[in-house]
Every structure is written in C-alpha cells, then in structure tokens.
Amino acid sequence: MSRHTRPGPPQYLAFASLVLWCAWTWQSSAATAGGIPLTEQLTDHTPLWWYALLAALAVAASYVIRAPVPATRPVERLLSPTTSLPVTLTATVLALLLPPLLLGVPLGFLASDASLATRWHGYVDVLTSPLALALCVAVCATVSLVRRRAGRTVTAGA
C-alpha cells in the first residue's frame, strides 16, 4: 500500500514539474528576449550540458525528495483532484505563457540588445511556435491524467 494519502501527485512529481517549468521559463524567456524563434533557442543557443542537467534534476527528484519541499506545495495543490479542472488547466496555460511575457519582454534588455519591438516579436513567435503549442497541449493532457490518477490513488487508499 502506498504511503501517499494526500490528494494530488507524489511530491517528487510536483518537484520534477517545477524543475521542468523553471527550464521552460528560462528557455522561452531567453528566446523572447533575443527575439529569436524558440526552436533556434533550443537547438543553437543551448548547450548539451543544459539538457543533461535538466534530465538529471527531473529524474533524480524521485530518489532525492524525501522531506517536504515548500516550493512544491502550489504545484501539488494545482495537480490535486480537489482543484477544479478548468482552474487547473487555466493555471497551467498561464504558467506556460506568462513567464516569457513577464520576463522576456520587459527584462529582456538585461540579456539582449534586442529592441522592445524585437522582443515583442519574439514573444509572439514563442506563442505561435508549433513547439510551444505542442508543449501546451501535452502539458494540459498530462496534468489531466495526473489529476485523474491521483484521485484514484487517494480513493483506493482510503
């Protein structure tokens, strides 16, 4: 029997999600700030060690996380079956679309010499990128499945 009795996903899944969200925030904001396409950011402007570090953090989370991590509480609540699905999906989409808008456009001058118009164009490119759209659909589907499974786990454990 699982020791996980709270509604929602295990903490390591929430931690891995937080790591991946931080990586998305970094990459999408960098593409926005530079006014470059997201695929170019991910292929030409990102070293391989970045992907290795990201994979190590996301995978190692299940082995490392043993004590509560306060930073994962909002993610755990968001993925909990007690939160309504429309609220969860809206928050998920906003979590993907707001970081490049809030970081890449206004603060992009710190990392790039691109003009404000170029940064806005970069943001529009990130939003309309097939990669970003596919990611958004995949993340929303995953969130829905995780919530469903978490609801079953809590019900079965009760």
- Non-local (6+) Cβ contacts of 122 within 8 A are 31, 32, 33, 34, 35, 36, 100, 104, 105, 108, 114
pLDDT band at 143 (very low <50, low <70, confident <90, very high): confident
Nearest CA to 31 among 124, 96, 93?
124
pLDDT per residue as tens digits for the range 126-141: 999 999 999 999 999 9
Q: In the chain, where are the structural domains located?
A: 11-157
What pTM, to 2 d.p., does this model score?
A: 0.81
pLDDT at 48 over 80: yes
Q: ∠ at Cα 150 (16, 154), nearest 5°?
A: 130
Per residue in 71-92, pLDDT (tens digit) is 778 888 888 888 899 999 999 9
In one letter, which amino acid is 127?
L
